[in-house]
Amino acid sequence: MKWSVSIGKIFGINFRIHVTFFLLLFFIFTSVANQRGTQSALLAVLFICAVFVCVLIHEVGHSLIGRRFGKEAKSITLLPIGGVATMEEMPEKPAQEMAMAIVGPLINLVIAGVLLLFVGRWTGIRAPSLYPDSASTFFAELIGVNIMLALFNLIPAFPMDGGRVLRGVLATKMNYVAATSLAVQIGQTLAMLFIFFGIFFNWWLALIGLFLYIGAGSEKQHVMLRSYLHQVPVSEAMTTEFRSVRPDEALSRALEHFYHGCQDDFPVIGETGVEGILTRDRILASIHEKGLNVLVRDVMDRNFATVESRMPLDEVYRRLSSSHKTAVAVVDGGQIKGMVCLDGISRYFMVQTALKHN
Ligand SMILES: [Zn+2]
């Protein structure tokens, strides 16, 4: 995610903090300092940091369970609204998805329980505010926040954990796509109720409803796309008319192809077959750094993926999005057959959807 800084690795997962978090801290510090003085402001900042640590432990919980099923988060970015994990893919086995989703809210309940055992006995739980005025209310409010985090995440609507739990439950009774559809329907109905009541009683509730409504829709679209692409072989969506370049050519030669066609990514074909891929980003960066006389072999992407023409398209989609690449070469028995790029896949999907509604 852009605009975020790395804070190091925990259990091998790269953690990042989004800059908006620091802006939030600054905003809270200045506004509380104006009203109640520096000491209260420092306590408020400390409180927000403590809440963030709780969110972080919640996310680590998801990731560690995910790792057990071989679905690991590459990195987790903490935003003021919570954590966003960059996953290669979510588990599609119902029991795994349920376990992975439920662990987050459970962790917040455990944190609340542990805090209650140690410090809550003499304070009682307090509704969270930004202004804990002493150490005892600080922990009482932290307990309140953790209970709220657990309940909020258990709302049965995507993208909340509760939505995933609901889909997991439904998926034990029906197939994954149907379960997603139904879970999205339930989530969106709930979101509409939030929006409706929110408009009359509380704007925050309406905003959350809107967020849930959009989140549910995009989850459905994503699952539909994946399941559709699963039935289509790579050969259907690959381009067979493409230009290639040689590794010993100068970049200036490759540039001519770049000008004269709409192709962005070029397979580099040497004596042993495909040796690399020359992407648009590489072409532009290399011209800037090394000039035009550099050889293609010195600037091409050697760490490229290839696929076979009979592979399902969703596999290509998964490989491209997890490696942040834009195109793969289609190679059958050492021979290049075509190229598939992300744009090509979405173009193919758009055409097929248009044909269906015709
Ligand atoms: Zn969660």
Calculate the alpha carbon distances from 93 to 71, 103, 216, 303 in Å. 11, 16, 19, 31
Residue 221, pLDDT score: 82
Which stretches of 80-173 are DSSP H helices?
A: 94-118, 135-153, 161-171
Residue 283, pLDDT score: 83
Mean pLDDT of 11-17: 82
Distance, CA 104 to ligand 1 centroid (Å)? 5
Residue 150, pLDDT score: 92
Q: How confident is the model at residue 151 (pLDDT cuts 50, 70, 90)?
A: very high
Q: Is 173 left (phi over 0), alpha (psi -120 to 50) or beta?
A: alpha
**Lowest mean pLDDT across 84-93, 115-124, 190-199:** 84-93
Q: Above pLDDT 70, what percent of the chain?
A: 91
Residue 333: Cβ within 10 Å count: 7
Distance, CA 83 to ligand 1 centroid (Å)? 8
Mean pLDDT of 124-145: 72
Q: What is the largest CA-CA distance in the chain?
A: 77
Distance, CA 7 to ligand 1 centroid (Å)? 20
Say how far apart CA 15 and CA 227 lie, in whole Å.
31
Q: How confident is the model at residue 127 (pLDDT cuts 50, 70, 90)?
A: low
**Lowest mean pLDDT across 125-134, 137-146, 233-242:** 125-134
For residue 132, is pLDDT > 70? no
Distance, CA 321 to ligand 1 centroid (Å)? 22
**Lowest mean pLDDT across 48-62, 244-258, 268-282, 312-326:** 312-326
Listing DSSP states for 185-243 in one string gives HHHHHHHHHHHHHHHHH-HHHHHHHHHHHHHHHHHHHHHHHHHHHHTSBHHHH-BS---
Catalytic residue positions?
59
Q: Above pLDDT 90, what percent of the chain?
A: 11
**At 290, which amino acid appears?**
K
Distance, CA 172 to ligand 1 centroid (Å)? 21
Average pLDDT, the chain: 83
Q: Which helix (H) or strand (E) holds 275?
A: strand 273-278
Mean pLDDT of 247-253: 85
Predicted TM-score (pTM) of this structure: 0.71
The answer to whether 187 touches 216, Cβ cutoff 8 Å, is yes
Angle CA 83–77–64, to nearest 5: 65
**At 159, which amino acid appears?**
P
Angle CA 207–213–217, to nearest 5: 150
Residue 111, pLDDT score: 94
Q: How confident is the model at residue 107 (pLDDT cuts 50, 70, 90)?
A: very high
Residue 255, pLDDT score: 80
Query: Using CA atoms in the order 265, 270, 275, 276, what is the torsion angle rounded to 10 degrees?
Result: -20
Residue 124, pLDDT score: 58
pLDDT in tens, 82-104: 666 666 566 668 888 889 889 99
Distance, CA 90 to ligand 1 centroid (Å)? 13
Calculate the alpha carbon distances from 356 to 223, 317, 344 in Å. 18, 22, 18
Mean pLDDT of 67-77: 77
Q: Which helix (H) or strand (E) holds 257?
A: helix 251-260
Mean pLDDT of 29-42: 85
Q: Which residue has the higher pLDDT, 184 or 39?
A: 184
Mean pLDDT of 180-187: 90
Q: Which residue has the higher pLDDT, 157 or 12?
A: 157
Say how far apart CA 108 and CA 125 lie, in whole Å.
14
Distance, CA 216 to ligand 1 centroid (Å)? 15
The answer to whether 85 touches 63, Cβ cutoff 8 Å, is yes
Residues paired with 277 in a beta bridge: 267, 301
Distance, CA 105 to ligand 1 centroid (Å)? 6
Q: How confident is the model at residue 105 (pLDDT cuts 50, 70, 90)?
A: very high
Distance, CA 269 to ligand 1 centroid (Å)? 45
